[in-house]
Structure 1
Amino acid sequence: MKNNLFYIIGFLFLVSCTTSKPRRPINPKPSTTIFQDNIETAKKIFQLEEEEILNFIKKDSLNVYKTSSSGFWYTYNTKIEKDLAMPKAGDIVELTYDIRDLNDSIIYNKADLGTKTYKVDKEDFISGIQKGIKLMKIGETITFVIPSYNAFGISGDGNKIGISKTIKSTVTLLNIK
């Protein structure tokens, strides 16, 4: 009995002292070709959206659109020539806006969205409008044409706005606090 106990303890000691081998991951890391494919797909979507926007602007001969450095286009519906303050980060602004597609079909109208109170650059909001508000003075109305990457991205809004959807939004700045 003592011999058996001796062998068992010896066996356990030998087993516990062996070095363990690292295990390999079950799912290997994705190859760089998958990332390259995603980059190429994103570039194609960007190019198609930009062509769609430029065609829209070309057809809209009544308005003159400017290109922003932030990646959206805009035209003034009501422009204030006076030298007034424009919103900056941290300001609280009140505005009204709508969301339409490039065919001018209303997705969300101003009445449904109501008056929006927004703290500039401190709250989550449509990226293109966040940046566009900083171009506005109180009383101005601007129509923004916003590509998906500056709007609701590849996921849409989960409701009425689809994936990779370019939008138009007419924004009126009511007040700056």
Structure 2
Amino acid sequence: MKPTLYLILLVLFASCKSPDARRPESVKSGSFIKESAERNKKLNDKEQQLIEEIIAENSENNYIASNTGFWYHYNTKVEKDTITADFGDLVNFDYNLKDLKGRTIYASEELGNQDYVMDKEELFTGLREGLKLMKPGETVTFMFPSQKAFGYYGDKKRIGTNIPLISQVTVNAIKKD
């Protein structure tokens, strides 16, 4: 009986040990993230240079650089009305999408008239930020680098990976929330 008692005590003491933390099988150095950041910087510089060349060729238009990383010029500017869209406002607008060579990707007739509740619905970043700058009755042409457009994923239809876009947008009405 004594050997059984010793065996039970041995099992009890051995099972009370807390589990050791598992160690990772391989250690990542973070080089993938650094390399990805470098690729994105180079891509952004290349797109910015291409957009600046287009702006230089179209010197009749007065392009403005936004604080958030895209360029735009007014086709139709409204001076008297000071209403712009804020969070939750309903914006009615029309727009088209073209590549930087001017080839139409989506025509405004195809996209149709849009109603967008500001910052409560999904819309690509550049267009959402651009709509905040506009007043009812204005038409603006935007040039978006790919990270302000559809980025790495595209729209999974006609817009591919890392495609900068040109978009002509007309705000028809803004209904305050």
With normalisation by structure 2, the TM-score equals 0.88
Q: CA deviation at 1:80?
A: 2.2
Structure 2, unaligned runs of 5 or more: none
Which residue in 1 is equivalent to 2:49?
51
Cross-structure match for 1:129 = 127
User: Partner of 1:153 in structure 2?
Assistant: 151
Task: Please give the alpha-carbon distance, in whole angstroms, between the structure 2 residues aligned to 1:66 and 1:20.
Answer: 61
- Aligned match of 2:117: 119
Please tell me the residue identity of whatever aligns with 2:73: T
Q: In structure 1, what residue type is equivalent to 2:32?
A: I
Superimposed CA distance per residue, residues 5-53 of structure 1 (whole angstroms, 9 cap, x where no aligned partner): 334423322421345432212343x213333222211211110110111
Structure 2 Cα separation of the partners of residues 123 and 172 of structure 1: 19
Aligned-pair CA distance for 1:69: 1.1
TM-score of the two chains, using structure 1 as the length reference: 0.88
- Other-structure match for 2:9: 10
Partner amino acid, structure 2, of 1:93: V
Distance between the aligned counterparts of 2:9 and 2:81, measured in 1? 90
Change (3 A) 1:136 1:21: closer
SS in 1 for 2:68: coil
Q: 1:17 to 1:93 in 2, by over 3 A?
A: closer
3-state SS of the aligned residue for 1:112? helix
Partners of 1:94 and 1:157 in 2: CA distance:
22
Distance 2:9 2:85 in 1: 78
Q: Who is 1:142 aligned against?
A: 140
Moved more, 79-88 or 124-133: 79-88
5+ residue gaps in structure 1? none
Runs of 4+ in 1 over 6 A off after TM superposition: none
Alpha-carbon deviation of 1:122? 2.4
- 2:37 and 2:143 mapped to 1: Cα distance? 24
Partner of 1:83: 81
**% identical aligned pairs:** 39
